């Protein structure tokens, strides 16, 4: 009795089992299982709204078909987004490599140029005194 009293304010965190819900709608559940679903309805507006809406579906057998159709469309949507992402990644990569190579080349070239110009500067002063001696 005591624990039951506390059940009123403690939410059952259990996630709803879709198959059980279908069975509830078609009246196939035992009294205990039926109570479990109704307890979840009392605990969550989401489940309550859903069951009330599902009870309005005329032919309960259509439900599994609807769910299957919706899940297939969803899967296609998700795959499409994934492919688009992959394609973009492939396209992006050559540019990335090109940019890296270009940067490397640029740094090598600038290294050589700077080194050469430094060497030239060194040569000039050593030549100068010779001119003065003349």
Partner 1 sequence: MQKLNHIDDKELLNRFYSDHNNDWLGELLPRYTLLLFGVCMKYLKNEEDAKDSVQQIFLKAINELHKYKVDYFKSWIYMIAKNHCLMKLRDKGKYSLEITERMSATVDSTEDKNVLIEKDNTLNEMQAALKQLNHEQAQCITLFYLQKRSYTEVAEKTGLSMMQVKSNIQNGKRNLKLLLEKKINHGQ
**Binding-site ranges for partner 1 (CB under 8 A):** 1-2, 4-11, 13, 15-16, 18, 21-22, 31, 34-35, 38, 41-42, 44-54, 56-57, 62-63, 66-67, 69-71, 73-75, 77-79, 81-82
Q: Is 78 or 103 the residue whose CB approaches partner 1 more closely?
A: 78
Return the ∠ at Cα 115 (arms to 113 and 121), rounded to 5°. Answer: 105
Residues 55/25, Cβ–Cβ less than 8 Å: yes
* Tokens (6 digits) for 66: 């609807």
How far is 23 from 51, CA to CA, in rounded Å?
A: 12
Q: Is 58 or 123 the residue whose CB approaches partner 1 more closely?
A: 58
Least distance from partner 1 to the Cβ atom of residue 124, Å: 59
How far is 56 from 71, CA to CA, in rounded Å?
A: 21
Least distance from partner 1 to the Cβ atom of residue 96, Å: 19
Least distance from partner 1 to the Cβ atom of residue 65, Å: 10
Q: Is 79 or 113 the residue whose CB approaches partner 1 more closely?
A: 79
Residues 57/26, Cβ–Cβ less than 8 Å: no
Q: Is 26 or 107 the residue whose CB approaches partner 1 more closely?
A: 26
Least distance from partner 1 to the Cβ atom of residue 2, Å: 6
């Amino acid at each position: 009795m005591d624990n039951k009293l506390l059940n009123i304010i403690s939410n059952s965190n259990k996630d709803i089992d879709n198959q059980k819900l279908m069975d509830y709608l078609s009246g196939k559940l035992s009294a205990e299982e039926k109570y479990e679903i109704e307890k979840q309805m009392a605990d969550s507006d989401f489940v309550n709204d859903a069951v009330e809406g599902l009870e309005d579906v005329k032919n309960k057998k259509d439900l599994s078909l609807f769910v299957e159709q919706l899940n297939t469309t969803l899967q296609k949507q998700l795959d499409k987004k994934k492919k688009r992402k992959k394609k973009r990644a492939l396209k992006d990569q050559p540019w990335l490599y090109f940019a890296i190579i270009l940067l490397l080349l640029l740094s090598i070239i600038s290294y050589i140029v700077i080194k050469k110009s430094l060497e030239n500067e060194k040569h000039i002063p050593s030549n100068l005194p010779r001119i003065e001696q003349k």
